[in-house]
Amino acid sequence: MTELVQTRRAGGRTARKAARAAPLPQALRPVRAGMSGGLYAPLSEAEVLRIHNAALRALDEIGLADAPPSGIAAMTAAGARLGEDGRLRFSPALVEDMLAKAARGITLHGRAPEHDLALSGTRVHYGTAGAAVHVVDVDGRSYRDSTVQDLHDAARIADRLDNIHFVQRPMVCRDIPDNVEMDLNTLYACCAGTTKHVGTSFFELASVPLAFDMLHLMAGGEAEWRARPFVSNSNCFVVPPMKFATESCMVMERCIAGGMPVLLLSAGQAGATAPAPIAGAIVQAVAECLAGVVYVNSIAPGFPAIFGTWPFVSDLRTGAMSGGSGEQALLTAGCAQMHRFYGLPGGAAAGIADAKLPDMQAGWEQMCSNVMAGLSGLNLVYEAAGMHASLLGFCMESLILGDDLIGQALRCVRGIEVDDDTLSLEVMRATCLGGPGHYLGSDQTLARMQTDYIYPALGDRTSPKEWEERQRPDLLKNATRRKAELLAMPVRARFDPPTDARIRAQFRIHLPVS
């Protein structure tokens, strides 16, 4: 009888473990893409209005220089004023008119529909981004030039990570010297590595029509591409302070014509190319992005564009960028609050480490800004994982560890649900009045342990004794092992052989055929 009872208990325990190991349906997972943040607001309503009004004054009184002739024509036709100094100025009425036309509630598509990102309200998504020129070698504690294979590997790893929701190009392919070839191989390497939404930039205007030719092949035709554009253009359309980037604007115009969503990216550096005060850096970024809203909607009203206020922080002792600072976290959260004020889909940078390796410094730097970005309801948190040395280095192990880190950040975003069940009065009554005096085996605990709690894949929660018994597992070594496991898996995003052959026949693809 004793043996039978023990067998039943063991079998029940085994069954419960198996049930816990099985993947939960998406709607029941404790964290997932698109959960709503917005509980954190670093600015008061009055301060938001002051920033808005200051940005309107900057556009009306200072304006922006260096728009291309095509942009000048479109924006002056919409009501902008071209001064004798060559600067375009925008009245508050024009800005408000274009804000009324701007797209809201847009969707960034994945190549696979399950990866579509709905950008509305305070729905939060985390992903990669950047233009790192180095890869961090954790074992050698060194940096080397990044390659197209590195970029493809990063996309493949991100494709397998639940808490990385999109893949914007995090590295530059430094092994491809020709800029047009690099642009096209960047596009191919990312799209062949993931079916999540991809973001990319173009170094050359000549790359854009060729990129659309490639995308049409990937999608199965131009109509199919336009129905579900799975790549967006990260466009630095301004050169802070308050100047248009002429060639990037021309790239943006061609992307709009080709049906590619655009990220209007203003990346001033506080104390260098943006005012040193945090509020002033936000004012300039908002003004520049509002000019982008006028630009886009004067060409194509309602075209999907992301309000990309990306001001960065300087360490004012040296002038060097400091992406891992508390000031950076505040800047990003303040920008997210401005996106909410305008009701526009928005993106900004977080998760950047100044640390050179994935160490304790990197952990606090990456977590601080990622949590604040999520709590502030930022729709797209760019550069959220893998970035080191203030965007100069990308680390695959850090990308994998970032998946754990972002999972915890998303749990903070989800917040605390308060209802009859979570208040737990009946469970307390049953437990305390004649019950076992603890909640470990209660139905509520067993039901909630998967749906309410998130557990790290690599983070260690064992006791010191168990840690010793397990041969003192090392976090970075486990991340390196996990990297090897992920890269040994089949590539889920590679194109079917006929499509890949057509792409390779038309373009010089540097990645080998799988």
Element of type H or E holding 390: none
Residue 368 dihedral angles phi and psi, to the nearest 5°: -55, -55
Round the CA-based radius of gyration of the chain to a whole number and report it.
25
Contact 473, 460 (CB under 8 A): yes
CA distance 228 to 128: 21
Runs of H (alpha helix) within 343-386: 360-375
Q: What's the confidence (pLDDT) of residue 7?
A: 36
CA distance 153 to 176: 16
The CATH 3.20.20.480 domain(s) of the chain lie at: 104-414
> Average pLDDT per run of 10 along the chain, which is 514 residues long?
37 55 76 92 98 98 98 98 98 98 97 97 97 96 98 98 98 98 98 98 97 98 98 98 98 98 97 96 98 98 98 89 94 98 98 97 97 98 98 98 98 95 95 94 91 94 95 96 98 97 98 90
* Residue 472 CB burial class (10 angstroms; 0-12, 13-18, ≥19): exposed
- The closest alpha carbon to 376, from 346, 417, 354, 405, belongs to 346
104-414: CATH, from 3.20.20.480, 3.90.1150.10, 3.30.70.1280, 3.30.70.1400: 3.20.20.480
**How many Cα atoms are found within 13 Å in the side-chain-facing hemisphere of 313?**
22
Q: What's the confidence (pLDDT) of residue 18?
A: 58
Q: Which amino acid is residue 245, in one-letter code?
A: A
Q: What's the confidence (pLDDT) of residue 8?
A: 37
- Omega prior to 113 cis, within 30 of 0: no
Contact 104, 344 (CB under 8 A): yes
Q: What's the confidence (pLDDT) of residue 22?
A: 63
Pairing of strands 262-266, 231-235: parallel
CA distance 504 to 341: 46
Residue 119 dihedral angles phi and psi, to the nearest 5°: -100, 95
CA distance 205 to 178: 13
Written as one string, the DSSP assignment of 141-152 is TEEEE--HHHHH
In sign, the C-alpha dihedral spanning 236, 238, 241, 246 is positive
Residue 235, both tokens: 């466009």
In the block, tokens 């304790």 appear at 360
- 3-state SS class at 332: helix
Q: What's the confidence (pLDDT) of residue 21?
A: 59
Q: What's the confidence (pLDDT) of residue 2?
A: 35
Residue 167 dihedral angles phi and psi, to the nearest 5°: -125, 100
Residue 65 dihedral angles phi and psi, to the nearest 5°: -100, 170
- The closest alpha carbon to 31, from 456, 418, 408, belongs to 408
Q: Please state, as a whole number, how many other Cβ atoms lie within 10 Å of the Cβ of residue 420.
A: 8
Contact 42, 335 (CB under 8 A): no
